[in-house]
Amino acid sequence: MPEAPTFSAFFRSARVRWSETVTGSRSASYVILAAIIGIVNIGLAASINEPLSVKLLIGIVPPTLFFFVAFVYAVFSVWREERKAVIALDGRLSAVLKLNFDQHSDGIVLVPTKVPEQDEHGRPVFDAGGMQVIFDSHGAYIRIRLSTLTDVVVRGCATFVTRIDKLNTSGRFDTIRMPGAHRLAPTFVDVFPRVPQTIDFLQASESDNRLVLSAGTPFVLRDAFSESTTYRMTINVIPQTGPDQVIVVEVDWRGQWNTITGREVIEPLPC
């Protein structure tokens, strides 16, 4: 069990480090330094015509310097070990969020879905018994992963799409105008240690074969993904505690719901 933070405990730790410095392997460099200074001082004392007291004063400089440096190093060693322990503990007790995207893991998933049937006017279709007609389909969901790097829960994460860029025919990205940040999850998300969470930001359905934003599409962005090209999505995750995190993902849309590819952009290209 660690000792209480008292002066006597500090003195004992410093004394142990001082003893190791003076007598252990660390003492070699100090002994050599003291010997060099001692030889110089002996020569200096022999060459000057001064009283014996002055020569004795010159002679005690090397050992005094040696023990003083050893004391400073001992105190520094105690402080360094304690500081390392504080930094390590602070790291374990801090909520640190990590974002990533991997299309070969859970970044892009194709799953069966149930889709309500609609008529040509977009109105639901009902059967003879008054039940809405539902048919089997498939969908593709593009998502980021949220995980914590420590054993502390990252609470209250709010996720937003803050920017959308589209690759044009000249090979540069044009920014798509947004009415504001688009929130992806209606509720806050808690991220527990060793239990990653995923947040969808784009999706496409086999039934209509259109790429759209997850959690609803604002009217002004209804045709934002109509072209077959690459889209760059900037996503901000804001936890209640800890710094905000940003991830940029490029998604390749080829006009087919089951051929979507994507990758995380570590260093986005200039637009």
**pLDDT tens per residue across span 3-26:** 666 656 666 666 666 566 655 555
Lowest mean pLDDT segment, chosen from 27-31, 140-144, 218-222:
27-31
| Residue 200 banded pLDDT, cuts 50, 70, 90 | very high
pTM beyond 0.75: the answer is no
| Residue 214 banded pLDDT, cuts 50, 70, 90 | very high
Contacts of 9 (CB under 8 A, 6+ apart): 3
Tell me the average pLDDT across 103-111.
93
